[in-house]
Amino acid sequence: MIDIKNKKDCCGCSACANICPTNAITMQAADEGFFYPVIDKDNCINCGLCEKVCPMLDYDDKIEKLNKPKVYGAWNLNEKIREQSSSGGIFTVLAESILNREGIVVGAAFDSDLKLKHVIVNTLEELSLLRGSKYLQSDLSDVLIPIRNFLKEGKRVLFTGTPCQVAGLNTFLKSHKYENLITCDIVCHGTPSPKIFGKYISENEEKEKQKVKSISFKDKSSGWKIYNQRLTFSNKEKLIPAMQTSFMKGFLQNLYLRPSCHSCPFSGIPRVADITLGDYWGVSKSYPELDDDKGTSLILINSSKGEQLFSQITDKLYYKATTLESAVAGNPCIIKPVAPHKKREQFFKEIDNKTLVELIKKYCPKPNIIKRVYRKLYRLTYKVKTLSLLRKVIFRHCERSK
């Protein structure tokens, strides 16, 4: 019987709940809003399967990996898809390749109540549900068993998720080497509390006096590097500089990430997935030709299966081989987890008594004045093509003032 004594020892992958033969395990929200397994001892038969599939207890990676990942900067040649994507639109090309061969794709999508769940899609039209960054941990409870069934039927499956979710899927499958399974993880900063996200949405609904229908965490209409967040209400849209929102401020300062994120065993090289995707932050420093501020994807090819799939899509990409060192420079989460905010515990003690806006002001001070001025100048110059050189200079100063 699985027994979580310390919250940092559970990544919330739900493999244990899915493997349980008597449905004695359910994933339930704890006080911080994160989901953990709860055991119905009357239904538990002590088979031990839940412990065997827990990736946090003993992760034995049977996936054959390259000695060192192959690293690329790239974007989708389809400008419309690239514009709708968080970075370079590479996930869509990978997914299309699978679907065109009668496979299925599994990824995270919001439902009508803005709950994030992993869903299965088998048509090109449905891919829009999975496109774009979602800064939350999704619910896997409805997909692990169907994925296993599809694999046994010989269907080709592309699964995309956080590194711990990929690890959870691998252990749920009992490390069986399904050649028809391709996994794709993300460069993960950590997963914030669903409770905090719900509070953020509620406060925006209260302020605007109408329901939030959808959210886009990374709208690139003002550029890829300094992007917006788009909230769609019942009869209006609201575009906000993402770094000015209370939710993103707390997320990026590690104020309310899941406890396991700060000691994540799946952050590092080798990666747990066949392919890793992320934003290629800082790419302009080493490869300026890969940066037009429309979104550049970082791609790590970690296995022969990943290498094979990548070779099938290169005709749809603008891409260039780069180095792991340049990738890590802008994405340190590739090799190590983030440290928790020093006042994380105090923050959660106050979360039920104050607004999120009030708490962010208290625990996440504003950036220094120089950085704020540079960001404002960058936005003002974005739509003026003749000022593109000035904009690049301003962005470099933004980076240095972090």
Q: pLDDT tens digits for 111-154?
A: 999 999 999 999 999 999 999 999 999 999 999 999 999 999 99
User: Is 39 part of any domain?
Assistant: yes
Question: How much is the pLDDT for 367?
Answer: 67
* pLDDT (tens digit per residue) in 15-36: 999 999 999 999 999 999 999 9
Residues 91 and 163 in one domain: yes
Residues 111 and 137 in one domain: yes
User: Is 162 part of any domain?
Assistant: yes
In degrees, rounded to 5, the angle at the alpha carbon of residue 295 between the alpha carbons of residues 396 and 275 is 115
Residues 75 and 187 in one domain: yes
User: Is 15 part of any domain?
Assistant: yes
- Is residue 383 scored above 70 in pLDDT? no
Check which CATH number belongs to the domain holding 13 and give it.
3.30.70.20
Taken as a whole, the chain contains a residue count of 402
Residues 113 and 170 in one domain: yes
**What is the span of the domain harbouring residue 387?**
368-402
Question: How much is the pLDDT for 365?
Answer: 81
* pLDDT (tens digit per residue) in 288-330: 999 999 999 999 999 999 999 999 999 999 999 999 999 999 9
For range 38-53, the mean pLDDT: 95
User: Is 210 part of any domain?
Assistant: no
Residues 186 and 112 in one domain: yes
What are residue 181's DSSP bridge partners? 157
Q: What is the rounded distance in angstroms from the CA atom of residue 166 to the CA atom of residue 251?
A: 22
In the chain, count of helices (H) and strands (E)?
A: 15, 13
Counting the structural domains of the chain, the total is: 3
Residues 156 and 86 in one domain: yes
Residues 127 and 148 in one domain: yes
Whether the Cβ atoms of residue 1 and residue 42 lie closer than 8 Å to each other: no
Residues 399 and 324 in one domain: no
Residues 383 and 278 in one domain: no
Residues 322 and 393 in one domain: no
Residues 92 and 166 in one domain: yes
Helix boundaries (H) for 42-89: 49-52, 79-84
Residues 94 and 184 in one domain: yes
* pLDDT (tens digit per residue) in 253-296: 999 999 999 999 999 999 999 999 999 999 999 999 999 999 99
- Is residue 174 scored above 90 in pLDDT? no
